[in-house]
């Protein structure tokens, strides 16, 4: 087996199988070694525009809570159901709502609605202008991903392997797509991505599917990786990061599998490269950027998947999802640091700290500003100085 299991954080949920937190898996060597941060002279000077405490964050659990920015407003939620809308330029509060629910996924934003999922399987739609509840729907299991929103449909991925298309106006079910979930999966699910009348989502078992947005009909089903091994642990191969739709391709990473590119129209596998990651990747027209499960950051050629560079100075620092900002690749770590790399060669060019709590999923880039949400509820807006 590729890794020796020292500690497995897993819970059994009725009918959903066993869920594991990959951040708790280490070999003996890895348990002894976490890369120490070396002295670094910042070659660029990221500037913090503002910072705010926005609640309890994830409450020390692996949840799908991320900042979302739309129309000059930052929307955030915490594990206890506190929802806030903040001015994106200043961080000032526009409105707050107390749901008193165990929120676990979101928010998703679109068409005047703010969508949140809960541990109990509820999906709640709020008005983006004032936080008033529009509707509430109970689904079959926990929601650990960000709901996707179009003008007509809300798409939600639940941990029991189901995709729901809900009527955007009232939350009623329009369609449902189901597939069998392996007996052991990562604790997390990939968020659906809507593009061009289709929904793209990565599934447990290493498959990527495209569905029609209007009725949930299957367009194609691509096998990005083939689970292998003797034990259930060795065969665990999930897509937990969100798909990236870019330039006619759909790009995904699998845990204990491959990073792959699939043709958007046909579902044909264009390329794949052996690499294990449970995080969302970053991308631009120049490259694909991946933090693997060992804490190595990679720059890949987006056309072939070949490695352009790798950066191993952050090994086992439990890196976050990847963001791309103004020609730089950014990842957070378990001590609240942001690490900035040149996208051309992967060299470390800056290090900043936005809090003392881990940064797991909360990176969002809009209009050349990076919004960072730490697991403890610290929210910050960061940008690079404008150069003439």
**What is the pLDDT, as a whole number, of residue 189?**
73
Mean pLDDT of 368-373: 96
| Predicted local distance difference test score (pLDDT) of residue 29 | 43
Q: Is the pLDDT of residue 104 over 70?
A: yes
pLDDT, averaged across the chain: 87
Q: Which residue has the higher pLDDT, 11 or 121?
A: 121
Could you tell me the strand order of the sheet in which 10-13 lies? 10-13, 17-20, 184-186
Return the DSSP state at 22.
G
pLDDT exceeds cutoff 90 at 307:
yes
Q: In whole angstroms, give the CA distance from residue 154 to residue 113.
A: 10
Instruction: Give the pLDDT mean for 331-342.
Output: 96
Q: Where are the beta strands (DSSP E) in 113-264?
A: 113-118, 122-127, 133-138, 148-149, 153-157, 162-167, 173-178, 184-186, 193-195, 198-203, 207-212, 218-223, 244-246, 249-253, 258-263
Q: pLDDT tier at 229 (50, 70, 90 boundaries)?
A: low
Nearest to 154 by CA among 175, 140, 129: 175
Q: What is the pLDDT of residue 296?
A: 96
Taking the C-alpha atoms of residue 378 and residue 373, their distance in angstroms, rounded to an integer, is 6
pLDDT band at 179 (very low <50, low <70, confident <90, very high): confident
Give CA angle at 235 (230, 239), nearest 5°: 175
Q: Say what the pLDDT of residue 304 is.
A: 95
- Backbone phi and psi for residue 377, each to the nearest 5 degrees, phi listed first: 100, 10
pLDDT band at 114 (very low <50, low <70, confident <90, very high): very high
- 3-state DSSP call for residue 292? coil
Q: Is the pLDDT of residue 207 over 60?
A: yes
The distance from CA 184 to its chain's CA centroid, rounded to whole angstroms, is 20
DSSP calls for 327-348: TEEEEE-TTSEEEEEETTT--E
Residue 382: is its pLDDT beyond 70?
yes
- Mean pLDDT over 116-132 rounds to 97
Cβ-Cβ contacts under 8 Å for 30 (sequence gap 6 or more): 3, 294, 316
pLDDT at residue 385, rounded to an integer: 86
CB-based burial label for 2 (10 Å; 0-12, 13-18, 19+)? exposed
Q: What would the mean pLDDT of 43-71 be, rounded to a whole number?
A: 92
User: Left, alpha or beta for 173 (phi > 0: left; psi -120 to 50: alpha)?
Assistant: beta
pLDDT at position 39 is 87
> Which residues, in sequence order, are CB contacts of 284 under 8 Å at separation 6+?
324, 343
Task: Work out whether the CA dihedral 182, 265, 245, 349 comes out positive or negative.
Answer: positive
| Residue 2: pLDDT over 50 | no
Least confident interval from 18-22, 231-235, 336-340: 18-22
Our separate counts of H helices and E strands in the chain read 1, 36
What percentage of the chain exceeds 90 in pLDDT? 70
**Chain segment 146-159, per-residue pLDDT in tens:** 999 999 999 999 98
- The CA distance from 382 to 368, in Å, is 9
Pairing of strands 198-203, 207-212: antiparallel
Q: What is the pLDDT of residue 223?
A: 86
10-383 topology per CATH: Methylamine Dehydrogenase; Chain H (2.130.10)
Least confident piece of the model among 81-85, 122-126, 134-138, 284-288: 284-288
Instruction: Please give the Cα distance from 330 to 333 (Å, whole number).
Output: 10
């Amino acid at each position: 087996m590729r890794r020796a299991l020292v500690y497995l954080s897993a819970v059994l949920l009725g009918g959903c199988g066993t869920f594991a937190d990959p951040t708790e898996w280490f070999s003996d060597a890895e348990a002894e070694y976490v890369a120490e941060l070396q002295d670094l002279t910042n070659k660029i000077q990221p500037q913090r525009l503002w910072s705010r405490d926005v609640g309890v964050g994830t409450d020390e659990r692996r949840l799908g809570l991320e900042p979302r920015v739309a129309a000059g407003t930052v929307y955030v939620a915490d594990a206890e159901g506190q929802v806030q809308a903040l001015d994106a330029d200043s961080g000032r509060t526009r409105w707050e709502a107390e749901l008193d629910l165990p929120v676990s996924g979101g928010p998703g934003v679109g068409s005047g609605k703010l969508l949140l999922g809960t541990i109990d399987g509820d999906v709640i739609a709020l008005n983006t202008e004032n936080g008033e509840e529009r509707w509430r729907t109970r689904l079959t299991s926990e929601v650990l991903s960000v709901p996707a929103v179009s003008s007509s449909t809300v798409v939600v991925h639940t941990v029991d392997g189901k995709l729901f298309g809900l009527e955007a106006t009232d939350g009623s079910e329009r369609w449902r797509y189901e597939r069998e979930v392996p007996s052991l999966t990562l604790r997390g699910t990939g968020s659906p991505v809507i593009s061009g009348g289709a929904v793209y989502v990565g599934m447990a078992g290493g498959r990527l599917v495209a569905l029609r947005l209007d009725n949930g009909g299957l367009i194609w089903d691509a096998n990005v990786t083939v689970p292998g091994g003797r034990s259930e642990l060795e065969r665990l191969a999930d897509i937990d990061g969100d798909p990236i739709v870019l330039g006619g391709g759909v790009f995904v990473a699998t845990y204990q599998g491959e990073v792959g590119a699939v043709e958007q129209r046909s579902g044909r596998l264009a390329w794949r490269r052996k690499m294990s990651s449970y995080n969302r990747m970053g991308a631009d027209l120049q490259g694909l950027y991946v933090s693997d499960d060992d804490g190595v950051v990679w720059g890949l050629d987006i056309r072939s998947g070949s490695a352009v560079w790798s950066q191993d100075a952050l090994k086992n620092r439990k890196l976050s999802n990847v963001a791309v900002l103004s020609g730089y690749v950014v990842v957070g770590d378990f001590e609240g640091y942001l690490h900035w790399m040149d996208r051309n060669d992967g060299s470390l060019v800056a290090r900043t700290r936005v809090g003392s709590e881990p940064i797991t999923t909360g990176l969002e880039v809009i209009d050349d500003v990076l919004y960072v949400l730490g697991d403890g509820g610290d929210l910050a807006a960061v940008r690079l100085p404008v150069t003439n």
